[in-house]
Amino acid sequence: MKRIKAVPGGWQMVALLVFILLALCVSGCGNSKSGSSAASALDEIKQRGYMIFATDGAYPPMEFADENNEIIGFDVDLGKAICEKLAVEHKVLIADWEGLIPGLMKGKFDVIMSAMNITEERLKSVDFVPYYEMGQLVVVSAGNPEDIHCLEDLAGKTVAVQTGSTNEDAARDVEGAKIRLFGTFTDAMMEVAAGRADACILDSVVAKHYMLMQPGAYEVASDVFFEAPVGIAVSKESPELTEAIEEALAELKEDGTYDSIIEKWFGKD
């Protein structure tokens, strides 16, 4: 029987070649993915022709449903203007407030635009494009039956706020305050109007809206405190989308569109 003469190190060479080919394949695929992931969100939006803005839809005049159940408001108009600059359509998706950031991180929508305060805790999960600054204040029912004049006066009082909001954080800073949590600020304000809560903490432009829409139902009981910016939340995996939104917002401020939207929803100072 003839024996085939083995080439020294032959099997090692074959194994090495296979390893190199596999490494090149994995490296090439990985580089392609990581190299395009930053741009993929913006590219996908432009390809599909629209950007999805998530909101809880219940914080007038920032975002709320009109008589036809269509979501309108400052955030909606500004979002549409940003989309026009990016040459795409604007779409709104309603989601529970507490599910907004988790939903963005899972890619269920493109951005969050829901009057969300920029906080250090939220910055750990998402990036923000700031677009307006608001201050919080205390609102009570008309006549101020509980003699509340500042945040500290909420000690021992029942305070209605939206769960997971910075307004909840402010209420919890008051020792002895009895916190009642609601899914939306609309529900929280109804508790105040009905006398089942002594006060609500919310942003100044929102408080002004409620008093205009329901004259005689509410009054402001404190000065503005905790002034902070609100921002459009964007995935940390989408820096090019963040940059595109920043540029669009800068153009809107320069051409006067931004100021026109502010005047429409908040009036003149």
- What residues does each domain of the chain span? 44-133+229-266, 134-227
- pLDDT, the chain, mean: 87
Whether CATH 3.40.190.10 fits 44-133+229-266: yes
Go through the chain and tell me how many residues it has. 269
Question: Is 124 buried (19+), middle (13-18) or exposed (0-12) by CB count in 10 A?
Answer: exposed
Q: Which pLDDT score is estimated for 29?
A: 41
pLDDT beyond 90 at 13? no
Cα 174 vs. chain centroid, distance in angstroms?
26
Phi, psi of 36 (to 5 degrees): -105, -10
* Structure token digits, residue 122: 């939220």
Q: Could you tell me where the beta strands, DSSP code E, fall in 95-125?
A: 111-117
User: pLDDT confidence of 143, banded at 50, 70, 90?
Assistant: confident
Q: Please state, for a pLDDT cut of 90, what percent of the chain lies above it.
A: 79
Predicted TM-score (pTM) of the model is 0.80
3-class DSSP state for residue 173? Answer: coil
The CATH code of the domain at 134-227 is 3.40.190.10
Phi–psi pair at 140, nearest 5 degrees: -130, 175
Task: Provide the pLDDT for residue 15.
Answer: 40
Q: Is there a common fold for 44-133+229-266 and 134-227?
A: yes
What burial class does residue 254 get, using C-beta atoms within 10 Å of its C-beta: 0-12 exposed, 13-18 middle, 19+ buried? exposed
User: What band does 199 get if pLDDT is binned at 50, 70 and 90?
Assistant: very high
For residue 269, name the pLDDT band (cuts at 50, 70, 90): low
